[in-house]
Structure 1
Amino acid sequence: MREPMTPEEHETVGRQLGRPPRAVRAVAHRCPCGQPDVVQTSPRLDDGTPFPTLYYLTCPRASAAASRLESAGRMREWQEELGTDQDLAAAYRAAHEAYLAERDALGELPTRATAGGMPDRVKCLHALAGHALAAGPGVNPIGDRAVAGMGEWWAQGPCALPEEDRP
Structure 2
Amino acid sequence: MNSSTQTPRFEPVTDADREVIAQQLGRPPRALRAVAARCPGGHPSVVQTNPRLENGTPFPTLYYLTCPRLTSLVGTLEASGVMKEMTERLDADPELAALYQRTHETYLAERDAIESLGTQVTAGGMPGRVKCLHVHLAHSLAAGPGVNPFGDETLEWVRAQGWPSGDCAG
TM-score normalised by structure 2 residue count: 0.90
Give 2:45's aligned residue: 37
Corresponding residue for residue 90 of structure 1: 98
Tell me how far apart the structure 1 counterparts of residues 66 and 55 of structure 2 sit (CA, whole Å).
22
**How far has the Cα of 1:108 moved from its partner?**
0.7
Q: Is 1:158–2:168 an aligned residue pair?
A: yes
Q: Is the 8 A contact 1:33 1:154 kept in 2?
A: no
CA shift, 1:31, in A, is 1.4
Paired position in structure 1 for 2:10: 2
In 2, Cα distance between the equivalents of 1:77 and 1:99? 23
Structure 1 runs of 4+ with >3 Å offset? none
1:154/1:18 CA distance change after superposition, 3 Å? farther
- Among 73, 85, 104, the alignment partner of 1:77 is 85
Instruction: State the Cα RMSD in Å.
Output: 1.1
| 1:114 corresponds to | 122
Helix, strand or coil: the match of 1:150? Answer: helix
Give the aligned partner of residue 56 of structure 1: 64
Q: Which runs of 5+ in 2 are unaligned?
A: 1-8
Query: Contact 1:2/1:26 (CA < 8 Å) preserved in 2?
Result: yes
Contact 2:37 2:46 in 1 (8 A): yes
Q: Which residue of 2 aligns with 1:133?
A: 141
Question: 1:78 & 1:40 partners in 2: Cα distance?
Answer: 25
Provide TM-score, normalisation by structure 1: 0.92
1:114 Cα deviation from its structure 2 partner: 2.5
Query: What is the aligned length?
Result: 160
Quote the Cα distance in structure 2 between the aligned partners of 1:139 and 1:128: 10
Identity between Structure 1 and Structure 2 (%)? 56
Q: Which region of structure 1 is more displaced relative to structure 2, 107-116 or 74-83?
A: 107-116
Deviation at 1:34, TM superposition (A): 1.3
